[in-house]
Amino acid sequence: MTKPSSLPKPPPAQDDARRKRMTPAARAQHILDEAAAFFAERGLATSTRELAARLGVAQALIYRYFPSKRMLIDKVFETTFARLWDDDWTMLLANRAQPLEERVARLYVAYLERAGALSVRLFVRAGLEGADMARRYSVPLTEKLLRPMIGALRADSGLPDFDQAPMLRGERELAMALHGAVVFLGIRKHVYAMPMPDDLSDLVRLQVRVFLDGARRELARLHDGTAEDSLTVQQLDRRRQRRAPAPPDSTA
Partner DNA sequence: CGGATAGCTGGTCAATTGCTCAATAAGCTC
Partner DNA sequence: GAGCTTATTGAGCAATTGACCAGCTATCCG
Total Cβ atoms within 10 A of residue 64: 12
Total Cβ atoms within 10 A of residue 249: 13
In the list 15, 41, 43, 49, the residue contacting DNA (rule: CB under 7 A) is: 49
83 contact choice in DNA, a copy of itself, none (CB below 5 to 8 Å, kind-dependent): none
Structural contact between residues 14 and 28, judged by C-beta atoms closer than 8 angstroms: no
Site map 167..206 versus DNA, x via CB under 7 A: ----------------------------------------
In the list 41, 43, 53, 68, the residue contacting DNA (rule: CB under 7 A) is: 68
177 contact choice in a copy of itself, DNA, none (CB below 5 to 8 Å, kind-dependent): a copy of itself
Residue 40 CA to residue 38 CA, distance in Å, equals 5
Residue 150 CA to residue 172 CA, distance in Å, equals 8
Q: Residue 18 or residue 242: which is nearer to DNA going by CB?
A: 18
Chain positions 169 to 198 lying near a copy of itself, rule: CB under 8 A, are 170, 173-174, 176-185, 187-188, 191-195, 197
Contacts of 158 (CB under 8 A, 6+ apart): 250, 251, 252
Q: How far is the CB of 91 from a copy of itself (least distance, A)?
A: 26
Site map 204..233 versus a copy of itself, x via CB under 8 A: -xxx-xxxxxxx-xx--------x-xx-xx
| DSSP-assigned letters across all residues of 121-186 | HHHHHHHHHT--HIIIIIHHHIIIIIHHHHHHHHHHTT---TTTSPPPHHHHHHHHHHHHHHHHHH
Burial class (CB in 10 A: 0-12, 13-18, 19+), 14: middle
Q: How far is CA 102 from CA 152, 199, 203, 208, 233, in A?
A: 12, 17, 14, 9, 36
Q: For residue 176, what is the DSSP state?
A: H
Site map 5..44 versus DNA, x via CB under 7 A: x--x---x------xxxxxx--x-----------------
Residues that bind a copy of itself (CB under 8 A): 43, 45, 121, 124-125, 127-130, 133-134, 137-138, 170, 173-174, 176-185, 187-188, 191-195, 197, 202-203, 205-207, 209-215, 217-218, 227, 229-230, 232-234, 237
Interface with DNA by CB under 7 A: which residues?
Answer: 5, 8, 12, 19-24, 27, 45-50, 57-61, 63-64, 67-70
